[in-house]
Amino acid sequence: METQLKNLQSEALSAIEKTKTPEDLKSLEVKYLGRKGELTQILRGLKDLPPEEKKKAGQLSNSVKKTLEDVLETKKAKLETAEIEKALKKDFFDTTIPGDARPLGHIHPLTQIQEEVERIFNQMGFGIMDGPEVESEYYNFESLNIPSDHPARDMQDTFFIKDKDDGKHGKMVLRTHTSPVQIRTMEKYGAPLRIIVPGRVFRYEATDAGHDTTFYQVEGLLIEKDISLSHLKGVMAEFLSRLFGKPVKVRFRPGYFPFVEPGLELDFSCLICDNTGQREGEDCKVCKKTGWIEFMGAGMVHENVLKAGGIDPKKYQGWAFGFGLTRLVMMRYAIDDIRLLTNSDLRFLKQF
């Protein structure tokens, strides 16, 4: 019986050791220690043993029982812990663990300035308009008093869209300026008008630090009764002063654009040298010692343009302007190469 008991113990211990689930463990418990289990079966033979052996076998069977009970208990705890850990791994979500930080971008410097420009003009009563980037020759040139045989066509090198001609308005082009939206808005809303048009424009140009093939302009158009260039001067001085946060002066120089008459160029006072051309005893490099920064083209809207837009030039006058938004951003942040604004280099963009 002693041998039987020892064999039972070692067999049971090895079976318990190998068990992987609490259910299997339970079956082993029943198999070895249950009422009809193997230990009970062996103990049935106890009564037939001589008293001395009976005592010894009785003690041994108690010890085997105790050992198996202890080992079963320990194994049970171990399996339960493993089950809980497994469940935790699958379903548990610890809300107290800090989340993964996702890098947040910010608005591109060009868009930042565009929004600022829109806000200021909006406050002065100007609406914001939009127009197509793929435009007809008619809107981009003809309606703006630039016929196809006119030398002024050479002023803006143009991307033509191959084989596209809408039949009514000539070939299609990538708009070279935002001025076509002048005509589109006059046609749609008539006079009076007070709008700006920020937008992307395209020129077939060799790129360098100051020129790109794709850049942004802001068009302005004001049409009312009894309007003169003095209103333009006032509006632009106010706009630039608000944009730069300090008083800015403007001046006109004669300039030529076929869609305005008279045409002019507008400069504003250099903010670096305070319009003096000198800074800390040296010539100002920003304005090349003139005290003025060249800013935009403008003028009184040409009669032919008003007519093309369906507005009677005898009743209404107006002025228009167009400036390079991209160049304004460069001036504002002292960016010396225009290409930095479009090449998506995060080391550059993160500075704004």
Query: Closest separation between CB of residue 158 and ligand FA5, Å?
Result: 12
CA distances from 333 to 205, 244, 278 (A): 24, 11, 21
Residues 6+ apart with CB under 8 A from 201: 133, 174, 175, 176, 177, 178, 214, 215, 216, 217
Contact between 212 and ligand FA5 per CB under 6 A:
yes
- 112 contacts 323 by C-beta, under 8 angstroms: no
Question: Does residue 298 bind ligand FA5 (CB under 6 A)?
Answer: yes
Q: Minimum CB separation from ligand FA5 for residue 194, in Å?
A: 15
Q: Which is nearer to ligand FA5, 126 or 257 (CB)?
A: 257
SS3 30: helix
Residues comprising the chain, all counted:
352
Rounded to the nearest 10°, the torsion over CA 351, 248, 264, 336 is -20
Query: Does 126 engage in binding with ligand FA5 (CB under 6 A)?
Result: no
Q: Does 215 bind ligand FA5 (CB under 6 A)?
A: yes
**302 makes contact with ligand FA5 (CB under 6 A):** no
Instruction: Tell me the residue number closest to ligand FA5, measured at CB.
Output: 324
Query: Which residues in 53-92 contact ligand FA5 (CB under 6 A)?
Result: none
Q: Which of residues 164-193 bind ligand FA5 (CB under 6 A)?
A: 177, 179
**Near ligand FA5 by CB under 6 A: residue from 198, 297, 309, 318:** 297
Query: 310 to 329, contacts with ligand FA5 by CB under 6 A?
Result: 320-324, 326-327
- Spatial distance between the Cα atoms of 74 and 16, rounded to a whole number of angstroms: 10
Sheet containing strand 193-202, edge to edge, reads 127-128, 193-202, 214-224, 317-324, 292-301, 260-269, 250-254
Please report whether residue 131 would count as binding ligand FA5 according to CB under 6 A.
no
Q: At what angle do helices 109-123 and 229-244 cross, to 10 degrees?
A: 130
Considering only residues 253-272, where is the footprint of ligand FA5 by CB under 6 A?
257, 260
Residues making contact with ligand FA5 (CB under 6 A)? 156, 177, 179, 203, 205, 211-212, 215, 217, 219, 257, 260, 296-299, 320-324, 326-327, 338
